[in-house]
Amino acid sequence: MPEPVTGTQHVPGAGREPFGSRLGAAMAARGPLCVGIDPHPALLKAWGLDDDAAGLRRFSLTVLEAVAPLAAAIKPQVALYERHGSAGMAVLEDLLAEARDESVLTIADAKRGDIGSTMAAYADAWLRDGSPLAADSVTLSPYLGFESLRPALDLAADTGRGVFVLALTSNPEGASVQHVGGEDSVARRITQAAATENARYQGSMGSVGLVVGATVGSAISDLDLDLAAVRGPLLAPGLGAQGATPADLRATFGTAYPQVLGTSSRDILSAGPELQGLREAARRTLDGLRGE
């Protein structure tokens, strides 16, 4: 069983501590590790599992069992469940419920973004109390305008959940949008909007986080992004197999490093299917993030 974390109990809306506070407590208690649960077909095959809903379930619950004592959060990649249709989404619902029972926070990596009633429906699916897909937080895409995310931002605040907004991704194509504007770049506007949004939250960490790739290098300083001022968690995918080390994260994020939730997927998942191998890989990553 994982170490209990104060404030992670899943209780209805007004009684739930804000996501940022719960995540901050989990990071302090266990360390700043998020494990991505990415059931790619090649990984399922490597584990000796069929590429079907049964294989998906075995993979997902095994990873959760292995990393629950170590990870502040897990991040299931929603697309890799969607590809199995309704059966795959049922597995995702069960994974989210099991993580809740294990007091492990969840980040649904859905990257949703739309306008009006459609955005409200996405928010309802991932952030509403009682929804079978309700996670502790969800990733969002702001490229129809940050304010288009308003239904999710407000529902997350109302239910004690959180969001992670794509701000500075490490894929080569990202710069063609996120870097545009120079001193007034798209990434900087998103960063400032998140900081403004977090003003509604008390305590040390708000519930509006950003996704900033672990391998973005000098882009944070080049674009003059003040990530520490966001006062929200910084989800940093790309640790391990994608090339970033814990030392890289410290250098890249600087004074904002205490807000960083380092995210590793393939580097840990490839150590399966045995629980011990997965747990040892997660522990090595966590020790690196802690500087041990």
**pLDDT tens sequence for the chain (292 residues):** 454 444 333 333 557 899 999 999 999 999 999 999 999 999 999 999 999 999 999 999 999 999 999 999 999 999 999 999 999 999 999 999 999 999 999 999 999 999 999 999 999 999 999 999 999 999 999 999 999 999 999 999 999 999 999 999 989 899 999 999 988 999 999 999 999 999 999 888 999 999 999 999 999 999 999 999 999 999 999 998 778 999 999 999 999 999 999 999 999 999 999 999 999 999 999 999 998 7
Distance of CA 184 to the CA centre of its chain: 26
- Residue 6 in any domain: the answer is no
Pairing of the two strands 105-112 and 73-76: parallel
Distance of CA 145 to the CA centre of its chain: 21
What does the DSSP 8-state code read for residue 165? Answer: E
Active-site entry in 10, 40, 111, 150? 111
Instruction: Specify the pTM.
Output: 0.94
- Residue 114 in any domain: the answer is yes
Residues whose CB falls within 8 Å of the CB of residue 78, separated by 6 or more in sequence, listed in order = 92, 108, 109, 110
Q: How many CB atoms lie within 10 A of CB 44?
A: 19
- Residue 5 in any domain: the answer is no
**176 φ/ψ sector (left φ>0, alpha ψ -120 to 50, else beta):** alpha
- Residue 10 in any domain: the answer is no
Residues whose CB falls within 8 Å of the CB of residue 120, separated by 6 or more in sequence, listed in order = 151
The CA distance from 36 to 279, in Å, is 14
Residues whose CB falls within 8 Å of the CB of residue 129, separated by 6 or more in sequence, listed in order = 12, 13, 159
Q: How many domains does the chain have?
A: 1
Domain interval for residue 265: 15-287
According to the model, what pLDDT value does residue 2 have? 53
The CA distance from 275 to 209, in Å, is 30
What is the number of helices (H) and of strands (E) in the chain? 13, 8
According to the model, what pLDDT value does residue 6 have? 41
Does the active-site annotation cover 111? yes
CATH number for the domain that contains residue 165: 3.20.20.70
- Residue 68 in any domain: the answer is yes
Q: What are phi and psi of 137, to 5 degrees?
A: -160, 165
- Residue 4 in any domain: the answer is no
- Residue 1 in any domain: the answer is no
Cis peptide bond N-terminal to 273, omega within 30: yes
Query: What are the DSSP calls for 213-234, one per residue?
Result: -TT-TTHHHHTT--SGGG-S-E
Residue 249: which H helix or E strand, with range? helix 246-253
According to the model, what pLDDT value does residue 204 have? 82
The CA distance from 125 to 231, in Å, is 26
Strand-pair partners of 264: 35, 239
Q: The tokens 């973005």 sit on which residue?
A: 216
- Residue 271 in any domain: the answer is yes
The CA distance from 286 to 283, in Å, is 5
